[in-house]
Amino acid sequence: MSYLANKKRYQTMQYRKCGQSGVKLPLISVGLWHNFGGNGMSAEAKKILFESFDSGITHFDLANNYGPPYGSAESNFGKIMKSDFKKYRDELIISSKAGYDMWDGPYGEWGSKKHVIASCDQSLKRMNLDYVDIFYSHRFDPNTPLEETADALESIYRSGKALYIGVSSYSFKKTNEMIKILKTRGIKLFIHQPSYSLINRWIENGLTKTLQKNGVGCIAFSPLAQGFLSQKYLSGIPSGTRVSENSSFSKDLITKKNTKIINDLNIIAKKRGQTLSQMALAWVINNKAITSALIGVRNVKQLRDNIAALNNLKFSKEEIKKIDLKAKEGGINLWAPSSSH
């Protein structure tokens, strides 16, 4: 029998307007970068999607190359779209992106019109969708004129393949340029997707200000620093984690300095009656420039733990001061090179 959504799904989730648009996003959104790839979606991954939607999480974030193998997260999501989520399509905000390596040869990545449009078409096919709600340029391409990437985004937008346009990991300067280029074409940049967490605060140096000034939304990815901002790394590297599996978070980033930071932050979280991961999410959401915190989860237990962060989103001035003293740059931002232009 196909999935039937919880009738009470909109009773507890909180939503925030995406910039100055008419669209609201849930304070917590779910991304399919890890744990949703492979030859068919795991039973746990399906449960994550269903329980997310049952909890009012209306936004799922994908990209062409999420897997492994590349494309498999979208294909697996496409199957669920067809069998279970189709009837809820108008309740969902689904995003995808192009820009990182996806197929062989000179057109398989970056920001050319050739790559971006072909990639969007492929994503739509894999996901069994006529359109995505948001389509992103996944990273700035220093070897393609920004005008050309904007051409591709405009074409996708005008053809109705995407309702809204976003950029990811663009610097303050390149974001401003893209806002201006799109404006001349009568298009508003809808959203920026940067990395942001307690130990990765680069967006506070100008980017959030420009987004707010221009009415652009901001969805923060890796708000838990890929899981490092959770209880489990307080005293080592447990098995069954991204770090132990030698995945996208290298154990070299778990330095003495970073371990001290999370232990100090954990003391503050405990006093707030939250787990470290809950406080990390609440803190990201507490930034008024942020529309949504874009999490990844390995299982339903983590999803529930993270949603419970919404029970305590307020910070006293005193708490913010204490956090600012401890929440120092951790050198864990893998996407910094894209934002350096």
Ligand X SMILES: NC(=O)c1ccc[n+]([C@@H]2O[C@H](COP(=O)([O-])OP(=O)(O)OC[C@H]3O[C@@H](n4cnc5c(N)ncnc54)[C@H](OP(=O)(O)O)[C@@H]3O)[C@@H](O)[C@H]2O)c1
Residues near ligand X (CB under 6 A): 31-34, 61, 138, 168-169, 193, 221-227, 230, 232, 241-242, 277, 294-298, 302, 305-306, 335
Nearer residue to ligand X within complex by CB, 122 or 241? 241
Distances (CA, A) of 201 to 28, 207, 277, 289, 334: 19, 11, 16, 13, 13
Can you tell me whether residue 168 is helix, strand or coil?
A: strand
Compute the least distance from the CB of residue 129 to ligand X, in Å. Answer: 16
| CB-facing half-sphere around the CA of 146: CA atoms within 13 A | 16
Compute the least distance from the CB of residue 184 to ligand X, in Å. Answer: 25
Tokens, residue 111: 């920001």
Nearer residue to ligand X within complex by CB, 138 or 161? 138
Give the separation between CA 329 and CA 147, rounded to whole angstroms: 33
Nearer residue to ligand X within complex by CB, 2 or 273? 273
Nearer residue to ligand X within complex by CB, 176 or 278? 278
Compute the least distance from the CB of residue 208 to ligand X, in Å. Answer: 16
Using the structure block, give the residue that is written with the tokens 């959504």: 5
Compute the least distance from the CB of residue 193 to ligand X, in Å. Answer: 5
Compute the least distance from the CB of residue 268 to ligand X, in Å. Answer: 17
Compute the least distance from the CB of residue 322 to ligand X, in Å. Answer: 22
Q: What share of the chain is helix, strand, coil (3-state, %, to 5)?
A: 45, 15, 45
The DSSP bridge pattern shows strands 292-295 and 217-221 to be parallel
Compute the least distance from the CB of residue 286 to ligand X, in Å. Answer: 16
Nearer residue to ligand X within complex by CB, 245 or 321? 245
Q: What is the DSSP letter of 227?
A: G
Using the structure block, give the residue that is written with the tokens 């990811």: 168
Nearer residue to ligand X within complex by CB, 31 or 330? 31
Residue 296 burial (CB count, 10 A): 24
CB 306 within 8 A of CB 27: no
Compute the least distance from the CB of residue 277 to ligand X, in Å. Answer: 4
Can you tell me whether residue 339 is helix, strand or coil?
A: helix
CB 63 within 8 A of CB 101: no
Can you tell me whether residue 183 is helix, strand or coil?
A: helix
Give the separation between CA 230 and CA 326, rounded to whole angstroms: 15
Nearer residue to ligand X within complex by CB, 120 or 224? 224
Nearer residue to ligand X within complex by CB, 87 or 245? 245
